[in-house]
């Protein structure tokens, strides 16, 4: 990131907006609308350059006179390309591990000429004092197909941080979603995890999974070790508050008290 001084930043992802606000809120001049910030007073007066699933509005972004626009790799590529053509500096981020979260925070803090140490210390406090119970764990994020994160995803890396034995960590597949693999019922039964985590990306996912023939045959379901997590925090880091909540849940489940 060769940005010497970023004082007017537009953030096109909720996580980058949150990190910038934590570092120096006065330098955040535009954000993408997010349900995570609906009741967050920090973002109420900041102009929104997009809402819902609509793409960011190029004219709105340009009118804010940003000296840096931060987007998410893949999702923000088209708008970042247009901004580059207009000679507006951009950064594309991919936060799919704890290491990438820390690296991005250091980079953007340097560009903003602020100290990243307090925020990095806050990160470390979330994963400190781990005493893993070394439990085999499976995360399910959808039913058709059944998708689970391997080690190359934010969710997979987060499990690693808490010492979980992610049964899908080393699996590779042809899922269109990077860092995720598809599982068959047979493979789930063969893995037979101690802990089962269901992500509420689909509101009815848990109920629909309960109808699967493998469900009641698993160790986790027999021992009442099934937990529901929010999509934000575990699958999509989303915001620091969402990450903190996911870490707190994982600590409760996976570490000795």
Which pLDDT tens digit goes with each residue over 30-82?
999 888 998 899 999 999 999 877 889 999 999 999 999 999 998 899 999 99
Q: Are residues 141 and 116 in the same domain?
A: no
Structural domains of the chain, count: 2
Residue 35 maps to a domain = yes
Q: Which CATH number covers residue 149?
A: 3.40.50.1980
Of the candidates 125, 150, 165, which is a domain's last residue? 125
Q: Is residue 68 part of a domain?
A: yes
Tokens of 89: 């500096």
C-alpha distance across the termini of the chain, in Å: 41
Within a domain: residue 73? Answer: yes
Claim to verify: residue 177 and residue 157 sit in the same structural domain: yes
Of 81, 104, 125, which one is at a domain's C-terminal end?
Answer: 125
Element at 93 (helix H, strand E): strand 90-93
146 and 113 in one domain?
no
Q: Which of 96, 125, 154 is the last residue of a domain?
A: 125
Residue 48 structure tokens: 């929104």
Q: What is the mean pLDDT of residues 207-214?
A: 93
Which domain, by its residues, includes 187? 136-254
Over the range 75-89, which residues count as b (16 or more CB within 10 Å of their CB) and which as e?
ebeebbeebeeeebb
* Pair (150, 232) in one structural domain: yes
> Which residues are CB-neighbours of 67 under 8 A, at least 6 positions away?
3, 5, 6, 7, 8, 9, 88, 89
Are 144 and 109 members of one domain?
Answer: no
- Tens digits of per-residue pLDDT, 230-250? 999 999 999 999 999 999 999
Question: Confidence band (pLDDT; 50, 70, 90) for 257?
Answer: very low
List CB contacts of 118: < 8 A, sequence separation 6 or more: none
Residues 197, 242 within the same domain: yes
Instruction: Note whether 26 and 87 are same-domain residues.
Output: yes
Answer yes or no: do 153 and 96 share one domain.
no
Chain segment 125-173, per-residue pLDDT in tens: 998 666 677 889 999 999 888 999 999 999 999 999 998 999 998 888 7
Q: Are 97 and 44 found together in one domain?
A: yes
The structure's pTM equals: 0.92
Question: What pLDDT, on a 0 to 100 scale, did the predictor assign at position 77?
Answer: 92
Q: Answer yes or no: do 143 and 102 share one domain.
A: no
pLDDT single digits (tens) 85-131: 999 999 999 999 999 999 999 999 999 999 999 999 999 999 866 66
164 and 215 share one domain = yes
Q: Are residues 182 and 208 in the same domain?
A: yes
In a domain, 3, yes or no: no
């Amino acid at each position: 990131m060769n940005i010497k001084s970023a004082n007017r930043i537009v953030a096109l992802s909720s996580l980058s907006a949150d990190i910038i606000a934590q570092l120096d809120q006065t330098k955040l001049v535009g954000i993408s609308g997010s349900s995570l910030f609906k009741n967050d007073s920090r973002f109420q007066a900041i102009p929104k350059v997009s809402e819902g699933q609509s793409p960011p509005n190029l004219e709105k972004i340009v009118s804010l006179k940003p000296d840096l626009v931060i987007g998410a790799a893949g999702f923000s590529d088209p708008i970042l390309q247009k901004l580059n053509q207009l000679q507006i500096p951009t950064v594309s981020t991919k936060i799919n591990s704890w290491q990438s979260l820390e690296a991005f925070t250091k980079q953007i803090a340097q560009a903003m000429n602020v100290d990243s140490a307090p925020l990095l210390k806050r990160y470390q406090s979330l994963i400190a004092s781990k005493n893993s119970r070394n439990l085999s764990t499976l995360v399910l994020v959808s039913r058709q197909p059944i998708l689970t994160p391997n080690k190359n995803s934010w969710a997979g890396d987060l499990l690693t941080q808490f010492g979980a034995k992610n049964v899908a960590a080393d699996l590779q597949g042809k899922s269109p979603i990077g860092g995720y693999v598809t599982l068959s019922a047979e493979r789930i039964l063969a893995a037979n995890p101690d802990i089962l985590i269901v992500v509420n990306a689909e509101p009815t996912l848990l109920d629909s999974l309960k109808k699967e023939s493998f469900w009641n045959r698993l160790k986790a379901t027999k021992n009442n070790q099934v937990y529901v997590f929010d999509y934000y925090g575990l699958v999509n880091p989303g915001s620091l508050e969402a990450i903190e909540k996911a870490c707190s849940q994982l600590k409760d489940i996976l570490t000795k008290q």
